[in-house]
Amino acid sequence: MLRKKSLLVLVAILIILLAALFILNQKEASKNSPEPSQNNGDLFTMEESGVIAKDWIENNAPTYKFDGQNLKLKDSYEIGLKEIDPSVEEGGESKCEDCYEFAFDFSSRQAGYGNREGEMLAQVITPHTLKVRVESGEVTRAVTDQKYDELNQEMLQEETSLNQEDVRTYIKENISDLAPEQAVLGGNFYVIKMIFLSENNVLVQYEDGHKAYVGKAEYTLSGDNINVRSFENVDIEVKKLAEINFSEAGNITFGNDQNPQLVYEKPGAPALTKNINFNESITCYNFEANSLVQKNCEQVNWEEGDRVKVFGLEEENDFQANFIVFLK
C-alpha cells in the first residue's frame, strides 16, 4: 500500500513539473513574439516592432542567415503614410500609428547577397546595412544596402535610361575582353548576332574569322552602368542562332490535335497564332532562383497558358523552334 502511495506521489510531482515547464515555455515564446501593448490597445510600440524586426532578420533574411554576424540596431524611427503609400496626398493624414523602420548593421564573412550556396565567393568580411519596415506587427519591406530585396530574394533594379541597344553596343565594343578564350592566328573577335532571352540574359554569336562561338551573357543595368556579371560559352550550334528570323513572347495553347501553339499579339493584330514545330536540338531555358538556366526540354513541364518567349525559323503558319524561354 505504501509503495502504491509513493508511486502516486511521484506521478503527481512529475505532472506538476511538466506543467511548470510548459508555462515557462509559453512565457518565453510570448517574449519572442510580442503582442500589441495593452497600454495602446491593438497598436504595436516601437520597442515591440524592433523585436519583431530583429527576429525576422535572424530567422528569415537570406543574406544574414547564410553567413551574417554581429547584428546590431543602428537606428529606428516612425514612418508616415506617405512613405508607405505614395498615393496619399500631401497634407493628408501623415502618421501611421504603428509603422516603423529599423536600420541594422551586420557583416558577412563572404561577398554577395542572399543564399549563395554553390557560388564562387570572395572570402572577405563585408559590412551591410539592412533596413526593415514593420507595419502593425508585420514585416513588409526588408532591403540590404539599398540593393537586395530580402523579402523577394532578388536584386533591386535601379532606374536607368539604358536599353537593349546600349547592351548590344557595349558587348560589341568589349567582346575581346568578355570572351573566355583568345582569338587565333592574329584575328580579332567581332559579334555576328545577338538574341535577348530575357531582360538580363543574351546569347551572343561571335567569331575571329577562323572559329565561331556562342556565348551567354548575364548582365544588369544600374544608372549609367552596364555590368556583365558573367559571360560563358555554351554548347549550342552556331547555325541555331544564325538562322533565327522569328522571335515573339506569348502564351502556349494546345490545338485540337494537341500540338502546341503560340498565341501572341502585335500592334493592331491581337491573338495571332502559330504552330510550334520542334527539332531534336531545341534548347529550353527556365528560371531557377532568379537565374536563367539551360534545361533539357523533356524535363520542363509544359502547361496550357504558360508564358514563353520563342526564337526560331518562321514558315507560313508555323515556325521551327530553336529556343524556348519559360518566363516567370
pLDDT tens profile 51-61: 999 999 999 99
Which CATH number goes with the domain that contains 216?
Answer: 3.10.450
For residue 92, what are the contacts with CB-CB under 8 A and spacing of at least 6? Answer: 81
**Domain presence at residue 13:** no
With respect to residue 301, please indicate whether it lies within any of the assigned structural domains.
yes
Q: Quick check: is 270 in a domain?
A: yes
289 DSSP 8-state letter:
T
> For the chain, what percent of residues have pLDDT higher than 90?
46
The residue out of 241, 268, 292 marking a domain boundary is 241
Shared-domain flag, residues 173 and 278: no
Rounded mean pLDDT of the chain?
84
Domain boundary among 215, 241, 267: 241
What's the burial of 67, exposed, middle or buried (CB within 10 Å: 0-12/13-18/19+)? Answer: middle
**140 part of a folded domain:** yes
Q: What is the CATH number of the domain that holds 270?
A: 2.40.50.320
pTM of the model: 0.55
pLDDT surpassing 60 at residue 4: no
Query: For residues 310 and 247, is the Cβ–Cβ distance under 8 A?
Result: yes
Q: Does 222 lie in the same domain as 203?
A: yes
* Residue 151 exposed, middle or buried by CB count within 10 Å (0-12, 13-18, 19+): middle
Q: Are residues 67 and 88 in the same domain?
A: yes
**One domain for residues 43 and 149:** yes
Note whether residue 141 is domain-resident.
Answer: yes
Which of 155, 185, 214 is at the close of a domain? Answer: 155
Let me know whether 50 and 100 are in one domain: yes
Cell of 267: 500592334
Residues 267 and 214 in one domain: no
Domain extent, residue 49, equals: 38-155
3-state helix, strand, coil in the chain (%, to 5): 25, 40, 35
* 181 shares a domain with 253: no
In a domain, 321, yes or no: yes
Residue 23 lies inside a defined structural domain of this protein? no
Domain count, the chain: 3
Percent residues over pLDDT 70 in the chain: 81
pLDDT digits (tens, 9 = 90+) for 18-55: 666 666 555 554 455 555 654 455 789 999 999 999 99
